[in-house]
Amino acid sequence: MSFVEQLPGMLRLLADPTTPHTAPEISCRIQAAGWELCVPVLLSELRGDDPDVKRLVLAILAEEAENVGTESTEPFHEAVEWLMADEDRLVRMAAIHAVRDLHISTPTATAALRRIVCDDEAELARQALLTLIELDDGVVEELAQMLRGRAGEGESIQNL
């Protein structure tokens, strides 16, 4: 059985959130087996039901982007964008980090990050806002204008 055929089972076995070095190790094995051969398997796992596996695959994508560059992760952009709406909060957090790590600055990603800033829990909203600021300089200007407008309405900037 080839590595690519073994990869889904390996991801399930190693998707233990308490194992921090799993993503770099699997990333190295994927590189050795051939990234292009493993892309369909990784995409399939992102669409699966196991939140631990989804987070592991997102971490593998971050490793790939850091070690090789973001070009090879482009097939995953759409999946990462819709994972920002996943029911599992840890998957949403991992997707936010993946947007930053993979430099996904599409209108869809920006809209998803803005939705999280406005509608999700505080920690996810903070991370989404930081990612927005990092990926889009216009967000800082937009926030500054909004704050100036509210301060102009008589509200102290310290109360915002």
Does residue 17 or residue 34 have the better pLDDT?
34
pLDDT value of residue 152: 58
pTM of this prediction?
A: 0.86
Q: Is residue 160 predicted with pLDDT exceeding 50? A: no
List, for residues 78-112, the tens digit of each pLDDT value: 999 999 999 999 999 999 999 999 999 999 999 99
Q: Is residue 39 predicted with pLDDT exceeding 50? A: yes
Closest CA to 124 of 80, 160, 85, 159: 85
Q: Model confidence at 19, in pLDDT bands (50, 70, 90)?
A: confident
pLDDT value of residue 61: 97
pLDDT value of residue 151: 58
Task: Report residue 22: phi and psi, to 5°.
Answer: -65, -50
Average pLDDT over residues 27-38: 95
Closest CA to 72 of 43, 114, 111, 51: 43
Dihedral, CA atoms, 103, 105, 106, 109, nearest 10 degrees? 90
pLDDT value of residue 157: 46
List, for residues 109-130, the tens digit of each pLDDT value: 999 999 999 999 999 999 999 9
Run of H or E including 15: none
The rounded mean pLDDT for the chain is: 90
Q: Which domains does the chain have, with CATH numbers?
A: 3-159 (1.25.10)
pLDDT value of residue 143: 77
